[in-house]
Amino acid sequence: MVVRRRSQRGHRYTESPLLQLALQGWRSRVVGLLLMAAFMALILRAFYLQVINNDFLQEKGDSRYLRDIEISASRGKVTDRHGDVLAVSTPMRAVWAIPGDARQMSGEQKRLLAGLLDMTVRELEARLAVEKTFVFVKRQVPPQTAEQVAALKLPGIYQEEEYRRYYPAGEMTAHLVGFTNVDDKGQEGVELAFQDALLGRPGARTVIRDRRGNIIEDVGATRPPRDGKDIALAIDSKIQYIAYSHLKTAVSESKAKGGGVVVMDVRTGEVLALANWPTYNPNNRARLSGEQLRNRAVTDTFEPGSTLKPFSVALGLERGSYRYDTVIDCAPGRITVGKAVISDAHAHGLLTVAGVIQKSSNVGTTKIALSLPAEAMWEMFDSLGFGKSPRLGFPGEVSGRLRPWKNWRPIEQATMSYGHGISVSLIQLARAYTVFARDGDMVPASLLRVDEPLVRGTPVYSAQTAREMRAMLELVVKPGGTAPRAAVPGYRVGGKTGTAHKLEGGVYAKKYIASFVGIAPISDPRLVVAVMIDEPSAGKYFGGLIAGPVFSGVMGGALRTLGVPPDEPVMQVVENSASGRERL
């Protein structure tokens, strides 16, 4: 008997039927290739990130903790021609905060901080209430105070270096030097005109900071700072003080609205002094007004009046139409041009050309001007710099007003010959007078120190004409002239007075500009001094009475400061109030 054994059905529970299935050959190869491609892509991506584009990841990592801190550059100094400092930057500190962290201070800590920074607790809390990550608490903090703040170790309170500008000469040079704002950027004067040169270039250093902004490690400097360039001005601080003090006194005594003084070296064109009144203290500008800010000598124009007569007369000499002793009939003290009548302050009869300048005759000057071509007269004014910017590089400098000669009527040509119908700035007028001091040529005016001992100028008149005009100008300060009070003891000086009505709304008002421009020493000219007093109201307004004494004081002090030897014996002066003459 045969016994058959039934085979046991079933499977092992540790085995899966799916795993027993065999893939087809092509499918296994495809899966293998896909896996290899994926791994290769990962390898290439890692190589790209770690080797080729490593800078990107490094930058992202560094941005979490590395910071570049600016290293402030010191602003350049402004000095006078001898190196005396007129503007300098002093180190200060800026106290800043991370408001979110700083608000964690206790009430006592806030009180201590506010007291050190000269603030109220309410003001401090208002600054910290903003939803920002950075806010200035107080700027321009003195180093001693900043050290006291740092010693408190307050949460969220930090400091950084900055500078504050200091002006040792104060209001004396305010209009010339100008000032900077809290960010050390020039706002006025030389500070603005030479901003790029003075500013310099800030540097940077890299540090490691934690989440709260604390510096953990100083990695090192990445870019050293480059300090600003020092600027040496042409002005002489001693002469500037002389001009400023005499101007201030004159404005006060004449109850004037303001005034200006310019002192120029005729050899180089350098501006040795430029003073204005009213002025301001650039170290404390809390109550600064626009009236105080105006640099009248550069930015204001006025009708120069009789100070322009010498140029018109010089043109007549230059063209050969007149000589020094040519006689002109100025009687009866007035002349009709068109429908207008031009008069002299005092009637004169026969006057030589020199007498026209000495007596400041409008009638004589008008007759000379109307005998000249209008085009030639315009070209002369243009060559003297009128109607054009003086190109000092100073902010706000004006060109004045000089109308084209083709539009002139005879009355306009006449009035312009004695300084009406034309406007100039004081710096333009001072520069124009160098043409008489330099034997007929004129140099550019310069606010910066000029190292050349003698600068070549542009010819305007011949040397003979310039010498004759100097002789005429000297008569003005002699007895019988319009400005004996402008005489300077020990020096031969010459100049011209100016008294002009002010224009208001296109109409001449009963307000005056008193001026005087002069040269000294006449034997070997060195300086030109121009003085302008705006609206004197103490009863006197003539240029010889108001501006002449200012010229005398400024010119005499400047010549002695420069060590210029006297060229005339000093004589005693006997004042005769009845005749109005002075003997010095």
Per residue, the 3-state secondary structure of 98-133, as one string, reads CHHHHCCCCHHHHHHHHHHCCCCHHHHHHHHCCCCC
The CA angle 557-559-565, to the nearest 5 degrees, is: 130
Beta bridge pairs of residue 530: 262, 517
The two three-digit tokens of residue 169, written as one number:
């000469």
| Cβ-proximal residues to 358 (8 Å cutoff; 6+ apart), any chain | 472, 475, 476, 478, 480, 481, 482
The two three-digit tokens of residue 182, written as one number:
């809290």
Backbone Cα Rg of the chain: 40
- Helix (H) or strand (E) run with residue 487 in it: none
Place of tokens 């312009």: 416
> 3-state DSSP call for residue 420?
coil
How many Å separate Cα 463 from the centre of its chain? 35
C-alpha span between 491 and 570 (Å, rounded) = 8
> 3-state DSSP call for residue 153?
coil
Q: How many CB atoms lie within 10 A of CB 409?
A: 13
Q: Considering Cα of 224, then 225, then 230, then 231, what sign does the dihedral take?
A: positive
37, with CB counted inside 10 A (0-12, 13-18, 19+), is exposed
Alpha helices in 48-92, H assignment, sequence order: 54-62
C-alpha span between 227 and 272 (Å, rounded) = 27
Place of tokens 């590089």: 393
> 3-state DSSP call for residue 395?
coil
448, with CB counted inside 10 A (0-12, 13-18, 19+), is middle
Residues of 464-476 as b/e, b for ≥16 C-beta within 10 angstroms?
ebbebbbebbbbb
**Nearest partner of 233 among 198, 263, 190, 276, judged by Cα:** 190
List C-alpha distances in Å: 258 to 278, 292, 431. Answer: 6, 10, 21
To the query of whether residue 399 is one of the catalytic residues in this protein, the response is no
Catalytic residue among 89, 237, 254, 306: 306
> 3-state DSSP call for residue 326?
coil
Q: In this structure, are strands 258-265 and 135-141 parallel, antiparallel, or unpaired?
A: unpaired
| Cβ-proximal residues to 550 (8 Å cutoff; 6+ apart), any chain | 246, 247, 250, 259, 261, 516, 531, 533
List C-alpha distances in Å: 241 to 135, 211, 246, 430. Answer: 43, 56, 8, 19
Residues with catalytic function: 306
